[in-house]
């Protein structure tokens, strides 16, 4: 921490404050008061008021300082939130007094925005796929953006470029109108974004912690979004105002995926700690381990969880390569070593499962895995666990998704290609790279 004598660092002391309290509303995709704080020149310049936000050397003349300084315990900024702490306000004042210098390494400056989207020289690894429930779109994770494709693979409908360089999950709301995104910049920040599909605008963004966030999901009524963190915590927020309504720390490892119960009053989480846990939403309390917690019962962590569309049964996949369906609520008292909630196991995949999903009508399941650089996708009947089709692919598969019509699944991963696969036969009907790759030919001019 900076003391009175020391130089205050923008990168180490000031930027983290702006990141967690201001940039959600002041970034290229969402600029409250036409003010962007993610670009250093614009941070100094200010917004629609045309008052200089930061006057170098003069905190008393800096509009930003007047807006963050509380009067009768209330401050204009951060808008609608608690004022910054006295220590934070003091740091900002002193940094401006010392000349408001930018010591952030170039690599940490925001390079991309909706007006200046990323340019690709190679296909990025794909970590997330999700079809909109109305069947129109397929959301694909990109670098710094979510690529919204037409579901039939005919082309790109929108590019949603935000602050996070890495996108871990992008999931449509139940009404297909919005997308919740978790991601971040590894070792620097985590972020939750909510986008409106029709207007392609960022409705909400919040930076959280210092590492990427995982496993965003919607409550069935679309009012809540849950997500997991690498600091072992699980969270849920209200979509309307971004307020956190659930915080739980029951896991002992990264929380990688989350899903709500049918009526939205329970949340299920899976983790690297090998367990699937049940949390009560209104009380935020840990209720039960859904999977066995006997040492050795589960080999390795769990990466993915989905809920049956019509009942409280959970499909999970992880390091042991076996998709399994569990009852959410136990109907027998726990005995040490039991795995009573297990309903059935499905044909194993090669390697680790990274993604699993039910079909919209609940009659099928799909899973995708990765083993030594080879990918596999398997589709099975939900009721009798009979395999319907299977396909091996180049490059590990990190994401699978069922089209709502039940005839096609999408699968993608390390190779950066999206494959559309016919459910009945396991045959690829179409493959495409979800981004435009710029190839520069020596001597050629565009
Ligand atoms: C919840 C959204 C939100 C958050 C968080 C937020 N702001 Fe704002 N900010 C706005 C909006 C909207 C405006 C436009 C004026 C208004 O509506 O009050 C604004 C205006 C401003 C302006 C004036 C720009 C101009 O020239 O007119 C400054 C400076 C500012 N904010 C600084 C901050 C700082 C510093 C923080 C963090 C400590 C912060 N804001 C957090 C929404 C937000």
Instruction: Kindly list the structural domains of the chain, giving each domain's residue range(s) and its CATH number in brackets, ordered by start.
Output: 10-108 (no CATH), 129-432 (2.130.10.10)
Atom of ligand 1 nearest to the CA of 51: 26
- Region of 39 (left: φ > 0; alpha: ψ -120 to 50; beta: rest) is beta
- Burial letters 103-120, b for 16+ CB under 10 A, else e: eeeeeeebebbbeebbeb
From 34, 49, 69, 77, the mutation candidate for ligand 1 (largest count of ligand atoms within 8 A of CB) is 77
Q: Ligand 1 centre from 55 Cα, in Å?
A: 17
- What's the 38 CA to ligand 1 centre distance in angstroms? 13
Q: pTM value?
A: 0.88
Nearest to 137 by CA among 181, 177, 166, 182: 177
Q: Hey, whose CA ends up nearest to atom 42 of ligand 1?
A: 32
Measured CA to CA, the distance from residue 256 to residue 217 in angstroms comes to 11
The alpha carbon dihedral of 432, 435, 441, 446 has a sign of positive
CA of 22 to the centre of ligand 1 (A): 7
- Nearest alpha carbon, ligand 1 atom 11: 32
CA distances from 207 to 19, 22, 77, 219, 363 (A): 6, 9, 16, 21, 38
- pLDDT tens digit at each of 446 positions of the chain: 444 557 999 999 999 999 989 999 999 889 999 999 999 999 999 999 999 999 999 999 999 999 999 999 999 999 999 999 999 999 999 999 999 999 988 877 777 888 889 999 999 999 999 999 999 999 999 999 999 999 999 999 999 999 999 999 999 999 999 999 999 988 888 999 999 999 999 999 998 888 999 999 999 999 999 999 999 999 999 999 889 999 999 999 999 999 999 999 999 999 999 899 999 999 999 999 898 766 666 667 999 999 999 999 999 999 999 999 999 998 777 776 678 899 999 999 999 999 999 999 999 999 999 999 899 999 999 999 999 999 999 999 999 999 999 999 999 999 999 999 999 999 999 999 999 988 765 443 33
Atom of ligand 1 nearest to the CA of 92: 35
Q: Provide the 3-class DSSP secondary structure of residue 428.
A: strand
């Amino acid at each position: 921490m900076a003391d009175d004598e020391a130089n205050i660092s923008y990168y180490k002391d000031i930027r983290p404050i702006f990141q967690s309290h201001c940039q959600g509303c002041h970034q290229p995709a969402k600029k409250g008061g036409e003010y962007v704080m993610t670009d250093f020149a614009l941070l100094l310049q200010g917004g629609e008021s045309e008052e200089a936000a930061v006057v170098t050397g003069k905190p008393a003349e800096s509009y930003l300082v007047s807006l963050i300084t509380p009067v009768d315990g209330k401050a204009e900024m951060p808008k609608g939130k608690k004022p910054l702490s006295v220590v934070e306000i003091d740091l900002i004042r002193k940094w401006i007094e010392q000349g408001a210098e930018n010591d952030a390494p170039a690599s940490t400056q925001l390079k991309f925005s909706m007006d200046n989207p990323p340019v690709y020289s190679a296909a990025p690894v794909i970590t997330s796929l999700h079809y909109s429930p109305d069947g129109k779109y397929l959301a694909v994770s990109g670098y710094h953006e979510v690529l919204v494709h037409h579901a039939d693979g005919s082309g790109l409908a929108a590019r949603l470029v935000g602050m996070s360089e890495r996108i871990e999950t992008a999931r449509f709301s139940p009404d297909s109108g919005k997308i919740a995104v978790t991601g971040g910049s590894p070792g620097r920040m985590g972020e939750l974004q909510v986008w409106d599909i029709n207007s392609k605008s960022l409705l909400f963004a919040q930076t959280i912690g210092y590492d990427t966030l995982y496993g965003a999901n919607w409550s069935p009524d679309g009012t809540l979004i849950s997500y997991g963190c690498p600091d072992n915590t699980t969270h849920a927020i209200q979509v309307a105002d971004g307020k956190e309504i659930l915080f739980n720390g029951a896991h002992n490892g990264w929380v990688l995926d989350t899903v709500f119960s049918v009526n939205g009053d329970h949340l299920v989480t899976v983790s690297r700690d090998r367990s699937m846990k049940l949390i009560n939403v209104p009380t935020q309390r840990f209720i039960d381990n859904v999977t066995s917690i006997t040492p050795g019962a589960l080999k390795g962590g769990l990466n993915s969880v989905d809920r049956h569309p019509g009942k409280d049964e959970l499909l999970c996949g992880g390091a042991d390569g076996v998709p399994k369906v569990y009852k959410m609520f136990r109907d027998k008292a726990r005995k040490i070593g039991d795995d009573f909630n297990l309903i059935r196991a499905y044909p194993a995949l090669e390697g680790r499962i990274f993604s699993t999903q039910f079909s919209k009508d609940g009659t099928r399941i799909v899973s995708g895995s990765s083993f030594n650089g080879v990918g596999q996708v398997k589709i099975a009947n939900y009721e009798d666990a009979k395999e319907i089709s299977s396909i091996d692919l180049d490059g590990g598969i990190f994401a699978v998704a069922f089209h709502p019509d039940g005839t096609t699944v999408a699968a993608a991963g390390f190779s950066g290609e999206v494959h559309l696969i016919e459910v009945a036969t396991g045959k690829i009907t179409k493959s495409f790279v979800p981004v435009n790759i710029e190839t520069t030919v020596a001597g050629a001019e565009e």
